Each structure stands twice: as structure tokens, then as C-alpha cells.
Amino acid sequence: MAFLFGDLLGGWLPLPAGGYLAAACGGAAIALFRRQLIPILFTFLLLGAAALQTARMPGRSAAQGWIEARCQAAQRACSRRLENLLPSGGERAVVKALAIGDKLELDRTTRASYRKSGASHLLALSGLHVGILYKLLIALFYPLGGNRRLRCVRSVVVLGLLWFFALVSGMSSSISRAVLMITLYEGAALANRPKDGWNALAISALLITLLHPEAPRQIGFQLSFCACIGIFGLYPCLRGMLRSRIPPLTAIWNGAALAISCQAATFIPVWLYFRSFPVYFLITNLLTLPLVTATLYLTVITLLASVAGAPAELPAEWLQGVVRLLNRVVAQIADLP
């Protein structure tokens, strides 16, 4: 948190990076001798400001430009493959937005329907999409989860595919955060250490800010981390309010509790940026989440069949049908008074 605040401070008080670094060295010296919390936090705050000013220096964005170029090339390749598999129209536009973050084909009507119904977050790739793909990959490579060596192989394969998905989707802050947290979870599992969501969230925020100091100013970064705060802080309390032995009822309540937690945690930034609040967000999330999950699963199956040279017409047809139903549900909710 101190580093993030320092990053924001560096934007408000644009002092030279050398000045921030010199002050940070002074704070570190004080922290080394006195071993108190305040000098340590002060040091990290100044380091955050120095990181931002260093990133804004001329000639410091070559590596970032190279990464963005690779992301765009991978996204275009996947987009062309989807265009060959699916006919043009609203269904293909939504599939490309959900799968690889390509929104160029989305028309105004579709965008407005998703925004009014409270489903616009589905079109913006986030940790939700990463989590769905992660569960699918774990299920696909479950046979590799026997002994420790096979578990290591499974983790490497799954993480490699997730990072490839992050590359294709453009390495946004929300996607990077989710993949980083899953990477930390997998590392903790292999090391027989407990998974700590708060520590994983903090480490991912620190790494993203170090690599991209402008990230904390982006709405995607703020919404993603606010949603995670709601999930880790509020969701366990809401989930425990209903204890039922009926599995479908438990699943519905858990989904509702998750949606409420995310909306409550992101209410302030959503209102500040958009001056609106989706009234039917609970109904939207409960009805669309299964359809989005099926869409991503079918997209993966269709692409794998195409790459392997197997017939992909049948899964592509199923994919179109699911997305068509998704668009209809979103449009019906958007038309509610």
C-alpha cells in the first residue's frame, strides 16, 4: 500500500526521480538503524514515487512497446482464426470480446445492452475469465496430478497456457493480476505452503506497479483490486449467512453473495467514473455466468479442434447458439424498467 500511494504521489508531485531516490535512501538508513514501521513505510512510499518518475523518463518504454507489439500480434492471429470459424455477426463479436478482448466488431446496441444490464464487465476481460479457464485447464490436465513431479508438470503447463492467454488478451492489469495470483497459488501448493489471498493480492499489485507504474491510474486496475478486496473481505461473511443441505440452493446463494461482494467493493469507483449503478446486477450475474462459462469452454474446444485439424463445425455451431442465448438474456434484462 505504501508503494502504491507513493506511485500516486509521484504523479501529483512530479519531483525528479533522483530526489525521490535520495530521500528513499535516507529513509532506508533510518529504518535500518531504528527498525521501526514508519521509516520503512516512508521508504517504500518514496520508492513508489521514484519508480513512476523513472518510468516517465524518455527511452524507458522500449521493452513495454515490444511486449505490446507481441500481444497485438498474438491477438490478431487468434482473431483471424475465430473469423474463419464463425460467421460475422453479433455472436462472433461477443465471442471475440469474451475470449481475446477484441471489441472492434461490437456494435453500439450490444454495448448498450451489456452496459444497461450490468454485464459490461463480461466484455472486459478480467479475473472472472481467468478463473473459468483455470478450472477448465485443471480439469483437462487432471491426470497429470499424481505424484509431486507430475503435479509440477501440470502446474507448468497450466500456467504456461494462462500466461499465453494473458499475452493474447493484451496483458491488462486485471488479467495480469489474476494470472499472477494463480501463479503464486500454484507455487504455494507445490511448496506445501498455505494459500494466502491477501498476500497474493499485495504481491501482484506490487509487481504490476513495478513493471507498469501507470497501472494504478487505470480503471481496470482499480476495479480489479477493489473486487478482490470485496471477495476476500466481504464474501466469506455473506456466504456463511446461509447454510443449506440443498446443493442448488447453496450454489445460487454463493453466486449471489459473490456478486454482491464485488458490486459493494466497486460501487465507489464505478459511480465516480460512470455516474451509474446497474440495478439488476444480481439477476444478470446469476443468469449470465453459466452462459459465459459455457462460451469460454466451447471457444477453447473450437480453437483446439481447429488447431489439431479436427472438425470444428459442431462445437462452433454450439458456441454460436450459447452466445445467441447470452445476448438475448442480456437484451431482455436491459429492457427492464
Q: How far is CA 169 from the centre of its chain?
A: 10
Return the residue matching grid coordinates 502504491: 4
Residue 220 has pLDDT above 80, yes or no: yes
Q: What is the pLDDT of residue 61?
A: 55
Separation CA 165–CA 174 (nearest Å): 13
Amino acid of residue 320: Q
Amino acid of residue 253: W
Return the residue matching grid coordinates 453473495: 257
Separation CA 208–CA 55 (nearest Å): 13
Residues ≥6 apart with Cβ < 8 Å to 141: 154, 157, 158
Phi, psi of 113 (to 5 degrees): -65, -45
Residue 249 has pLDDT above 80, yes or no: yes
- Residue 39's Cβ-side half-sphere holds a number of Cα atoms within 13 Å equal to 13
Mean pLDDT over residues 203-230, rounded?
89
Query: What is the band of 226 on the pLDDT scale with cuts at 50, 70, 90?
Result: very high
Residue % of the chain over a pLDDT of 70: 96
Enter the DSSP assignment of 143.
G
Question: 36 is written with which cell numbers?
Answer: 521501526
Residue 70 has pLDDT above 80, yes or no: no
pLDDT tens digit string along 305-331? 888 888 888 889 999 999 999 999 999
Separation CA 81–CA 190 (nearest Å): 36
Separation CA 48–CA 55 (nearest Å): 11
Amino acid of residue 202: A
Q: Which of 61, 31, 35 is nearest to 46 (CA)?
A: 31
Q: What is the pLDDT of residue 180?
A: 93
pLDDT tens digit string along 186-198? 998 888 888 888 9
Residues ≥6 apart with Cβ < 8 Å to 67: 171
- C-alpha distance from residue 240 to each of 98, 140, 235 (Å): 31, 31, 9
Asked if residues 99 and 299 have their Cβ atoms less than 8 Å apart, the reply is yes
Asked if residues 31 and 40 have their Cβ atoms less than 8 Å apart, the reply is yes
pLDDT averaged over every residue in the chain: 86
Return the residue matching grid coordinates 465507489: 268
Return the residue matching grid coordinates 461473511: 237
Residue with the bigger pLDDT between 116 and 71: it is 116
Separation CA 10–CA 51 (nearest Å): 8
Enter the DSSP assignment of 334.
H
Mean pLDDT over residues 258-274, rounded?
89
Question: 334 is written with which cell numbers?
Answer: 436491459
Q: What is the pLDDT of residue 145?
A: 64
75: left (phi over 0), alpha (psi -120 to 50) or beta: alpha
Question: 102 is written with which cell numbers?
Answer: 477484441
- Residue 274's Cβ-side half-sphere holds a number of Cα atoms within 13 Å equal to 15
Residue with the bigger pLDDT between 278 and 185: it is 185
Q: Any idea what the Cα angle at residue 251 is, between residues 250 and 254, rounded to 5°?
A: 85
Q: What is the pLDDT of residue 64?
A: 62
Enter the DSSP assignment of 147.
S
